[in-house]
């Protein structure tokens, strides 16, 4: 891991089903992604993360893989994928694939063989039991599903169609190595590792996440792959604290490069199993404390992936910002994220400041998690009415982040030229289309472009390697921090509120502002205004 190129990267996550539909079947595809590579390059992106594109029955939109070595026919075929790699390389864009290694689809040949014969080697690829306990699926309902032909239950942490792999089996670990090598040979540069914190589970002792044994599994797999690809990149999905994060990513451990933390992106969630459907605005003090904890805890020990949004989250403007000032909110969130220490991850449409839509009926919801929770909490437990549950889904449903990208003002906002889309096209997106924002120097898109340019330009060294220090202002409306490296300083000041806020400034050397106002010592920040000041010209 000598070439740590990922520290300088800016990653753009694509949810293929919703990005761009080239053949008008209502579903985004690889050809659509190829057609938008210039858009991605123009933004300043150098790395793309693709949510799963493998063969799948699509019960969970590809996070239920039935064949790791084939492209889903919904998205194209291997020839199109090879062309995507080639076209991305022309533009100096790397590709990361989403590797779902915690579980497979129950349509996968391994699982089909496992339930056909208890003596099959594949039976030990999964967790089977003659009895079941009280474990629950994270999507709602029981985590054990009965197989009549075996008179056994199999374990699924997620959906019924997603059977968990048994990483205790050495053959499973070898399969993962082979899968990684196959795609690295194809030209990808690394992987986002889905639900990686679950691979060390010990069901008998009720250990589900972050089982200590998983670290030896990761070292074994990664060391084998790095024999051929020493510089490939891995970023894991987990819900760690700082101590757990470092167990995965500390430089000397040689496991994975980065691990997502969800404490900051989900700090608006209430406690409890349905907490994300009941978001609350918390204080700026709490947010600053959380940002500071992670920045201080990781500095010089590891490297942090920075994000507000992904395919499992609603739009960040709704969670953190203001719908009265949506564009300013989006710029404020971008500045707070991009100028911290870490690798920025942008989710498709985030650079346009996209917001949540309003689902008008339950039939508009496509997400398997929402459907399983509806079954448990409405149909079975009868804790909510349909209308009450729909209101909750509008707050926290994963589909909010999976709606079609708005490219222009034509039919279906340019997602395709047909009359159907797999999920609704929101009216809210009509004033946020990419074609207009590209031409507007004051748009959210243009502000993202300026931030990316800042990271890759004169201030690259301090933004990649500098330390992080919170700045103290008298107003609680302000979120501000300083990046320091040697004698160089960069001050990031954000009025993270709906109110005008007066501040006093000692340094007037502005290098970036979201409102294009003249800076002076006695300065009034507009709602959600950003200013970035430097110690040097």
Could you say which DSSP state residue 508 is in? -
For residue 312, indicate whether it is catalytic.
no
User: How many angstroms separate the CA atoms of 30 and 362, rounded?
Assistant: 29
CB 294 within 8 A of CB 307: no
CA angle 57, 167, 15 (to 5 degrees): 35
Q: 431-438 long-range contacts, Cβ below 8 Å, gap at least 24?
A: 432/352, 432/353, 432/354, 432/355, 432/406, 433/352, 433/406, 433/407, 433/408, 433/409, 434/39, 434/352, 434/405, 434/406, 434/407, 434/408, 435/407, 435/408, 435/409, 436/408, 436/409, 437/352, 438/39, 438/42
For residue 194, indicate whether it is catalytic.
yes
Q: How far apart are the first and last CA of the chain?
A: 35
Beta bridge pairs of residue 484: 467, 489
With DSSP H G I counted as helix, E B as strand and the rest as coil, what are the percentages for the chain, rounded to 5? 35, 20, 45
CB 530 within 8 A of CB 335: yes
Cα 420 off chain centre by: 27
3-state secondary structure 114-170: HHHCCCCHHHHHECEECCCCCCECCCCCECEEEECCCCEEEECCCCCCEEEECCCCH
Could you say which DSSP state residue 442 is in? T
Q: Pick the catalytic residue from 59, 194, 258, 350.
A: 194
Q: Where are the beta strands (DSSP E) in 315-470?
A: 343-347, 467-470
- Give Cα separations from 460 to 268, 300, 363, 488 (angstroms): 31, 17, 47, 12
Q: 267-270 long-range contacts, Cβ below 8 Å, gap at least 24?
A: 268/319, 268/320, 269/396
Q: What is the DSSP string of 87-117?
A: HHHHTT-EEEEEEE-SEEETTSHHHHHHHH-
Q: Which two tokens stand for residue 485?
A: 């490296």
Report the residue count for the chain.
537
Residue 190 φ/ψ region, left for φ over 0, alpha for ψ in the -120 to 50 degree band, beta for the rest: left
The helix/strand/coil state of 235 is: strand
Q: Pick the catalytic residue from 29, 197, 237, 255.
A: 237
The helix/strand/coil state of 335 is: helix
User: How many angstroms separate the CA atoms of 450 and 445, rounded?
Assistant: 9
Active site members? 194, 237
């Amino acid at each position: 891991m000598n070439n740590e190129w990922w520290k300088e990267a800016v990653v753009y996550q694509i949810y293929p089903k919703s990005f761009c539909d080239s053949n008008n079947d209502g579903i985004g595809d690889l050809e659509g992604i190829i057609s938008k590579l210039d858009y991605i390059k123009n933004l300043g992106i150098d790395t793309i993360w693709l949510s799963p594109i493998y063969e799948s029955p699509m019960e969970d939109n590809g996070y239920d893989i039935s064949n790791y070595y084939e492209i889903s026919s919904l998205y194209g075929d291997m020839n199109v994928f090879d062309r995507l790699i080639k076209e991305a390389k022309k533009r100096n864009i790397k590709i990361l694939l989403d590797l779902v290694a915690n579980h497979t689809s129950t349509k996968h040949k391994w699982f089909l063989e496992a339930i056909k014969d208890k003596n099959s080697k594949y039976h030990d690829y999964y967790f089977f039991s003659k009895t079941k306990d009280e474990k629950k699926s994270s999507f709602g309902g029981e985590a054990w599903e009965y197989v009549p032909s075996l008179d056994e239950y199999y374990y699924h942490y997620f959906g019924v169609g997603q059977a968990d792999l048994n990483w205790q089996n050495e053959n499973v670990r070898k399969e993962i190595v082979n899968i990684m090598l196959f795609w690295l040979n194809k030209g990808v540069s690394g992987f986002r590792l889905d639900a990686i914190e679950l691979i060390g589970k010990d069901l008998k002792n009720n250990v589900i996440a972050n089982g200590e044994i998983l670290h030896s599994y990761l070292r074994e797999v990664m060391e084998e792959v790095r024999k051929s690809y020493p510089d490939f990149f891995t970023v894991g999905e987990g819900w760690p604290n700082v101590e757990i994060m470092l167990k995965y990513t500390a430089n000397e451990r040689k496991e994975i490069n980065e691990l997502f933390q969800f404490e900051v992106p989900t700090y608006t969630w209430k406690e409890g199993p349905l907490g994300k459907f009941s978001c609350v605005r918390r204080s700026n003090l709490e947010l600053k404390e959380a940002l500071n904890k992670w920045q201080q805890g990781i500095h010089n020990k590891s490297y942090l992936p920075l994000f507000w949004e992904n395919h499992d989250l609603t739009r960040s403007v709704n969670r953190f910002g203001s719908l009265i000032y949506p564009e300013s909110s989006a710029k404020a969130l971008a500045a707070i994220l991009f100028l911290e220490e870490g690798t920025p991850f942008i989710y498709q449409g985030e650079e346009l400041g996209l917001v949540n839509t309003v689902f008008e009926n339950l039939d508009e919801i496509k997400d398997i998690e929402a459907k399983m929770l509806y079954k448990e909490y409405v149909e079975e437990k009868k804790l909510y009415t349909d209308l009450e549950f729909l209101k909750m889904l509008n707050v926290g449903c994963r589909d909010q982040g999976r709606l079609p990208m708005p490219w222009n003002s034509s039919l279906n906002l340019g997602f395709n030229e047909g009359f159907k889309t797999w999920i609704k096209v929101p009216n809210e997106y009509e004033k946020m289309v990419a074609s207009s924002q590209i031409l507007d120097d004051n748009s959210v898109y243009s502000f993202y472009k300026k931030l990316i340019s800042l990271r890759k330009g004169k201030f690259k060294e301090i933004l990649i390697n500098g330390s992080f220090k919170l700045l103290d202002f008298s107003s609680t409306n302000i979120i501000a921090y300083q990046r320091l490296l040697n004698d160089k300083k960069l001050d990031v000041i954000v009025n993270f509120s709906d109110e005008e806020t007066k501040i006093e400034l000692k340094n007037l050397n502005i290098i970036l502002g979201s409102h294009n106002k003249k800076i002076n010592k006695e300065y009034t920040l507009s709602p959600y205004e950003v200013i970035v000041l430097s110690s040097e010209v």
